Structure 1
Amino acid sequence: MSEQRKPTEEYVVIRHRPGYRLKRALILIVCTVIAGAGGYAAGLAQGGFRSTGVEASNERLEDKLAALEANYRDARQRLVNLERGKLIDEQALNQARNIIVELETRVGSLKSDLTFYKNIMAPSETSKGLQVDRFSLTNDRQAGVYNFKLVLTQVGNNKSYISGVVAVNIIGMRDQEKEVIALRDLSQEIKDLGVKFRFRYFQDVEGKLTLPDGFEPLEVQVVAQAEGRKSSQAERTFGWGDLTEN
């Protein structure tokens, strides 16, 4: 039996070239870029339709942006104008209110003065001669210190002067006991127990009084005594709370 001959095996020898695949990939990439650039250049050579479309779109966007910016500036300016107008309106309204309050206060004062002079010149039958017209207090900046004003009037017969003295006492409580303090002991402007007066129509007595520590005032008592041919007496008591409630 003869031996079967095996087919002859063939071997292919390939040269080993390090980096060949990498170089081939780079060449393909370069070729692709060159081809793209060429196509872009060809497009430009044929009329530049792509660039023109982009430029037109860009111009439209720029126009819209410019319009929006203009609208924004206009709206912003209107807002500023409205805010300024509102502030001006508020200031004008506050000024008008202050003027109204001042005018109302002045009108009230003028009405009070008119009534005052009318009572002097044309009194009723029950109010003639020497009168204690009013006693007022206003708070000073210091605690326990008040500005006072006493007004005496001669009602009816004003052809001649009336003279005399007026005494003012502050009635209150201290250490749970009633106490009467003369105005001269509370005010540097009043030197005597009785303040002298002489007038035809009216006279004011003004000054500043300071309450002592621990003294709680309740009333102000005013007693005016006219002397001579028009001898008469006028007395009036004012509640401290009524004098200081404003």
Structure 2
Amino acid sequence: MSEHRKPAEEYVVIRHRPGYRLRRSLILLTFSVIAAILGYVTGMAQGGFRFSTAEQSRDLLEEQVEDLREQNREASQQLVNLERGRTIDAQALNQARRSIVDLETRIASLKADLTFYKNIMAPSETSKGLQVDRFTMQQGRQDDTYGFKLVLTQIGDNKSYISGVVAVNVIGMRNDEKEVIALRDLSDDIDDLGVKFRFRYFQDVEGLLRVPDGFEPVELQVVARAEGSKSSQAERTFDWDELTEN
């Protein structure tokens, strides 16, 4: 009678990959954020907040901010768990940090947009009507070129359109003498001294400007004049160094 033999035990070798689960989670999280951002940007490109009311835009932004905050909390917790572990995968750790930075940057951008719409719909008593909301500039491909964006808003009474013209002048020094140059003379994107506007909530004026040789800009002045029943004027002066420091 043959002796009954136990079947040989089988072992399965599993490759140890530190940080694999975290990397996989972060990749999914990153794709989710990218999808949300693409949806946001696509909406802006197709008319964005202009196709709906400012109230709807504000509510949408609030939802996006809250979603990104939750994703940021999850990514931060994963980063803490990884740093506490005995084995730290450098690649996964760096990816986690980059994801958190991207999320925080996106949240800041959405919060700025949300504040913008809240100010339009719920203004203070001292800031109603036509407003020069902001003027921003970014360095172009060449040292003497800058991309600019002017934003005009109508605060409070948005039931009807407001129209008029806005003029932008750059004030500076050349050969130790003060000189004022109209934006029209610095940018091929602007044809007139006064740029016409007509809007209910806000309007952007964008383009590229070039600083002429020998001219040293000091400040930038914006003067907007509304015509008709909503006749008014809004002025604002910006420091050139503050506009270009970024």
Q: Do the structures match in fold with TM over 0.5?
A: yes
Partner of 1:240: 240
After TM superposition, the structure 1 = structure 2 runs for residues 80-229 of structure 1, keeping only pairs within 5 Å, are 89-229=89-229
The RMSD of aligned alpha carbons is 2.4
What SS does the corresponding residue of 1:118 show, helix, strand or coil? helix
Q: CA separation in 2, counterparts of 1:100 and 1:91?
A: 14
AA partner of residue 145 (structure 2): V
Q: CA separation in 1, counterparts of 2:112 and 2:212?
A: 33
AA partner of residue 214 (structure 2): G
Residue-by-residue CA offset, 1:161-211 (whole Å, 9 max, x unaligned): 000000000111111111110001010100000000000000000000000
Query: Percent identical across equivalent pairs?
Result: 78
Q: CA separation in 2, counterparts of 1:90 and 1:215?
A: 49
What SS does the corresponding residue of 1:101 show, helix, strand or coil? helix
Moved over 6 A (4+): none
Aligned-pair CA distance for 1:100: 1.7
Q: CA separation in 2, counterparts of 1:104 and 1:116?
A: 18
Residue-by-residue CA offset, 1:94-145 (whole Å, 9 max, x unaligned): 2222222221111111111111101100100000000000000001111110
The structure with the largest alpha-carbon Rg is 1
What SS does the corresponding residue of 1:221 show, helix, strand or coil? strand
Aligned-pair CA distance for 1:241: 1.1
Q: CA separation in 1, counterparts of 2:173 and 2:111?
A: 37
What SS does the corresponding residue of 1:143 show, helix, strand or coil? coil
Q: CA separation in 2, counterparts of 1:183 and 1:150?
A: 12
Aligned-pair CA distance for 1:214: 1.1
TM-score (norm 1): 0.64
AA partner of residue 134 (structure 2): R
Aligned-pair CA distance for 1:222: 0.3
Q: Which runs of no fewer than 5 residues in structure 2 stay unpaired?
A: 1-16, 19-87
Q: CA separation in 1, counterparts of 2:213 and 2:93?
A: 45
Q: CA separation in 2, counterparts of 1:232 and 1:146?
A: 30
Partner of 1:16: none
Q: CA separation in 1, counterparts of 2:211 and 2:150?
A: 17
What SS does the corresponding residue of 1:110 show, helix, strand or coil? helix
Residue-by-residue CA offset, 1:11-45 (whole Å, 9 max, x unaligned): xxxxxxxxxxxxxxxxxxxxxxxxxxxxxxxxxxx
AA partner of residue 95 (structure 1): Q
Count of aligned pairs: 167
AA partner of residue 212 (structure 1): P
Q: CA separation in 2, counterparts of 1:233 and 1:146?
A: 27
Q: CA separation in 2, counterparts of 1:138 and 1:98?
A: 24
